Amino acid sequence: MSVQFLHVADVHLGNFQYQHKERYNDFARAFSAIVDDAIRRRVAAFLVAGDVFHKRSIDAMTLYQAKEAFGRLKAAGIPALVIEGNHDKAHYRDAQVSWLNFLSWSDDLILLAAANDGGTLRFDPWLPTTKQGGYYDITGTGIRVYGIPWYGGGTAAIMQRAGDALRRMRAEEERAGVRYRVMLLHTGVDGVLPSLHGLPTRTQFDPLRDVVDYVALGHVHKPYEFDDWLYNPGSTETVSAEEAAWKRGYYAVEVDLSSDAPRHHARHILNAQRPFLRWSFSVDGLASPEILLEHFGAWCREHRSQAERGAASFGGPPVIDVALAGTLAFDIGALERRALEDAVRAHMPALHIIIRNLFNTVDFNPETGELDGRDEATRQELELRIFQDLLARDARFAAEAGPWSRVVAELKQRALAGEDPAVIAGWLGEQHARLAREGSTQ
């Protein structure tokens, strides 16, 4: 006899990413598609290892999305076994009642949480009367699912106490006909992501080693597995841009209960997620905003087919994330983000565009030398040098930095004197024409 269950984590319903309605819906769509798969496979249970919601204060629409998905599982007779992740947890001031508590009380799902009596951890059976408990036996299978909510920095100590608690339950497990045990835990493993600190090490999972057959993890959005024992499926949609590089999904776990020592086979399935394309565009050597835009447009055309393939496979336009890299040859104020976004939109399908400035700018660090600006004459000279230096770092003015610095100095004086802006603009136009004429004759 073999029994199948699904292991999902980090669904993050209610993530209004980029304040974009479609991105908000994407999280519900991803979850809904996994629920469809569970129903199609007629699995014996649907496990969620925490972070059903993106935040603890969800809105009515998000609650509806959750009720709709869990309601379909319930109608199909599939128990949904869930633990709280750090994103689901209620605030102390809200009497520590979370929306997952609410969904458990309203029979939409089965929320598992070991009871913590200070010194010891206790797993009680989940009861339909109290709608509380630390474990649930999947009817007629011999599979028991235990659950511990998120404990943050206390996770390693909790796992030690959970191991002790489960060893004490061995006789009871045997009486109940339990042959295979799953532990739902919202925690990562140290070292999987360099940016995540304070997670338990692999050896700190050892107390669970001989009392749990499958550790169903959540929390880290990058998928990984160790020793055919620790499994983390990753997030079901892209919660942050860095996740785009990881093949995230959920596990379909087949447990073979025909032998004395049940074995599982966990298959990682990639669910449909909106394509999230991350590219880098080099601004090196592009001397003016016009040249940059021209190159950027050509670059967009080169990337068009990739974006179109993503859109076709998903059935909707991708999120496009472009990092501008290198060293910008002109002042950052002259770079029009809007024009870059328009170029992306003109050349490829895009739901949302993110342009990130990762380039270096030619920062100004005046080498004042003998000039310390203590008297008015040297201050003006210092100012002129600073203008000249700044202009020399902008490819558009570099060749005429000297004459332009005098124009800028006079421009400043005219503005300080309260001259009419239209007059100043007219004068600036004349200076621009004059310098262009002089420059071309050299």
Task: Please give the residue ranges that form the binding site for Mn ion (CB under 5 A).
Answer: 10, 51
**Least CB distance to Mn ion at residue 217 (A):** 11
Report the half-sphere exposure of 19 (CA within 13 A, side-chain side): 0
Which DSSP helix (H) or strand (E) runs through 7? strand 2-8
Sequential DSSP letters for 423-437: HHHHHHHHHHHHHHH
Residue 51 or 108 having the CB closest to Mn ion: 51
Residue 83 or 166 having the CB closest to Mn ion: 83
**Least CB distance to Mn ion at residue 235 (A):** 6
Residue 220 or 322 having the CB closest to Mn ion: 220
**Least CB distance to Mn ion at residue 325 (A):** 29
Structure-token pair, residue 365: 């660090």
Residue 101 or 238 having the CB closest to Mn ion: 238
Residues 121 and 229: their CA atoms lie apart, in Å, by 22
**Least CB distance to Mn ion at residue 242 (A):** 13
Residue 51 or 237 having the CB closest to Mn ion: 51
- Residue 279: CB atoms within 10 A of its CB come to 14
Give residues with Cβ within 8 angstroms of 400, minimum separation 6. Answer: 391, 435, 438, 439
Sequential DSSP letters for 265-309: EEEEEPPP---EEEEEEE-TT--SHHHHHHHHHHHHHHHHHHHHH
Residues 319 and 344: their CA atoms lie apart, in Å, by 11
**Least CB distance to Mn ion at residue 221 (A):** 6
SS3 content of the chain, % helix, strand, coil (to 5): 40, 20, 40
CB 98, CB 56: distance < 8 Å: yes
CA-based R_g, the chain, Å:
31
**Least CB distance to Mn ion at residue 428 (A):** 54
Residue 51 or 84 having the CB closest to Mn ion: 51
Residue 53 or 135 having the CB closest to Mn ion: 53
- Conformation bin of residue 301: beta by default, left when phi > 0, alpha when psi is -120 to 50: alpha
Residue 101 or 235 having the CB closest to Mn ion: 235
How far is C-alpha 438 from the chain's CA centre?
54
Report the half-sphere exposure of 398 (CA within 13 A, side-chain side): 10
**Least CB distance to Mn ion at residue 85 (A):** 6
**Least CB distance to Mn ion at residue 13 (A):** 11
Residue closest to Mn ion, measured at CB: 51
**How does strand 327-328 pair with strand 360-361?**
parallel
